Amino acid sequence: MLEIAKEDIVARLAFDNPWWDTGPATKIAFQDTPRRTCFASFFRTVLDTSVRRAIVLMGPRRVGKTVMVYQAIRGLLDGGTPANRILYLSLETPIYTGLPLARLLGFFLETFGHRRESPLHIFFDEIQYLRDWEVHLKSLVDSYPDYKFVVTGSAAAALRLKSTESGAGRFSDYVLPPLTFAEYLMFIKRDSELVEVVPASHPNRDDAPGYRAKDIVGLNGEFVNYLNFGGYPEAVFSATIRGDPGQYIKSDIIDKVLLRDLPSLYGINDIQELNRLFTTLAYNTGNEVSLEGLSQSSGVAKNTIKRYLEYLEAAFLIRRVERIDQNAKRFKRALYFKVYLTNPSMRAALFGQIGADSEAMGPLTETAIYSQWQQRQANQLYYARWNTGEIDIVSLASAEQKPQWVVEVKWTDRPFKARGELDNCVEFVSKNPQIEQPIVITTRTVAADSVEYRGVQFTFVPSSVYAYTLGSNILRCMEPSAAPVTADQRMRLPRT
């Protein structure tokens, strides 16, 4: 059997790195695509050669990892990095299949006569397609400490697990989530038209900015669009994809993960079983589920469901949220929990697009708000449920495990007038008096500050404004020029 010739591999490397021939003048893929807000912080890590670690850029499919890599290469070239000191290749390319990273790197070094101490930038895309990638990468980081290695992969938690086990002290994880609502509005150039900054009430205090709607009807319309397709950058820019997000998102994203990525990573044999479970979870995003109920509705055994839930989280398709009681106590056995799609647009791809009056708007609004928090992994978010009430979002302090603040997510203005619907919040505050007030209640259109009910202070914020504020202020923390915003409560509460 013929082996792929070295000359063919080197020729493919040259094809994948056109800047070797034409230098900085080369037009690079995606260089004109708007940059994600978190690009600046990512690029800083690419430039930082003082930390001898490989960057592992993780996240769901089609959220822009490869785009950010190409934009980083554009930035390196614009900053004066010699073109022949940058290597990019995708492990998904057939000619590279099964080849060790060291061999591929060796071809590059030999082509240009680079030395071990040369300052090089090496980008390996879709790293999960190489078996034992973490062993290969750790060896390269140890062998070439002056090279900056950047790798990308889609099965996020699986990559994180492997990087923790085999790359201790060698890898730095960087997670790229779906588009936030703030980024979506920025990409379609409607942010300044629909949202405005509210001046700080304490100008000298280091506080995150607040926002309010300039046109709540228009903002809510774009929020619905965001739920239907806005989590994926390509869908935002393509009328074809927006016209049929089901075909694009389901076939190119969901099916590839369920039918290819997860089975290959975990050796799953019954793919249809996994598909049935995911379909059930997607339909119930934002709702409480149990292992027993999932087993009955999907026809999958409970022990198998436990494993599949881990796999789906590893692939960044879902996120589980634990339940606490009215005293903010966690349960020893997690019989009930909530599952959220990491990107609300996946539900529309599976079951059809929704409108502002759809019954699914409630749980999808909650799903969208949770998805804004993916930019900030450290938050310990739970939901509370007991016999007489429920709270959608509860933040527990890391050390004391006591509630710091709570948010009730609604896509209705009813609680503003029917104050009895706030009784669950009053009861929860009575059990946990240290909770910060005012309590945030999100609505469809109503915005109101300093509303008191039964001795508890409330503020009402439209869900679209709240989602924008969360995404904008969390991303603001990642900007190089931004002052640090460390208190969770400064990002949870938009000024209205």
Both 28 and 141 in one domain: the answer is: yes
Task: Say if residue 205 is in the same domain as residue 122.
Answer: no
What's the rounded mean pLDDT across residues 322-351? 92
CATH for 152: 3.40.50.300
Structure pTM?
A: 0.91
What pLDDT band is residue 479 in, cutting at 50, 70 and 90?
low
Highest mean pLDDT among 102-106, 255-259, 274-278: 102-106
Range of the domain at 120: 6-175
Max CA distance (Å), the chain: 80
Would you say residue 375 has pLDDT above 70? no
> Residue 10's pLDDT is what?
98
pLDDT at 26 over 80: yes
Whether pLDDT at 481 is above 50: no
pLDDT class of 165 with cuts at 50, 70, 90: low
Q: Answer whether residue 1 is part of any domain.
A: no
Give 398's pLDDT tier (boundaries 50, 70, 90). Answer: confident
> How far apart, in whole angstroms, are the C-alpha atoms of residue 60 and residue 128?
13
Q: Does one domain contain both 378 and 409? A: yes
Confidence band, pLDDT 50/70/90 cuts, at residue 61? confident
The pLDDT mean for the chain works out to 89
Structure tokens that stand for 477 in this block:
């923390």
Confidence of residue 264 (pLDDT cuts 50, 70, 90): confident
| Mean pLDDT within 348-369 | 96
Do 336 and 452 belong together in one domain?
A: yes
Q: How confident is the model at residue 495 (pLDDT cuts 50, 70, 90)?
A: very low
Q: Which residue has the tokens 């290597």?
A: 87
119 and 206 part of one domain: no
- Please report the pLDDT score of residue 205 as a whole number: 47
Report residue 252's pLDDT band, with 50, 70 and 90 as the boundaries. confident
pLDDT score of 299:
87
139 shares a domain with 108:
yes
Summarised one tens digit per residue, pLDDT across range 92-116 is 999 999 899 999 999 999 999 999 9
> Which of 175, 209, 229 is where one domain is finished?
175
pLDDT band at 483 (very low <50, low <70, confident <90, very high): very low
User: pLDDT by residue (tens digit) across 110-141?
Assistant: 999 999 999 999 999 999 888 889 899 999 99
Query: Which has more confidence, 496 or 356?
Result: 356
Q: Which of 175, 200, 220 is the last residue of a domain?
A: 175
Is the domain of 248 the same as that of 281?
yes
Give the pLDDT confidence score for residue 244 in this predicted structure.
83
Instruction: Kindly indicate the confidence band of residue 486, based on its pLDDT and cuts at 50, 70 and 90.
Output: very low
Question: Which band of pLDDT confidence, cut at 50, 70 and 90, is reported for residue 362?
Answer: very high
Backbone angles phi, psi at 384, to 5 degrees: -110, 140
Count structural domains, the chain.
2
Beta bridge partners, 442, equal 461
Q: Cβ distance 305 to 295 under 8 Å?
A: yes
Higher pLDDT, 199 or 131: 131
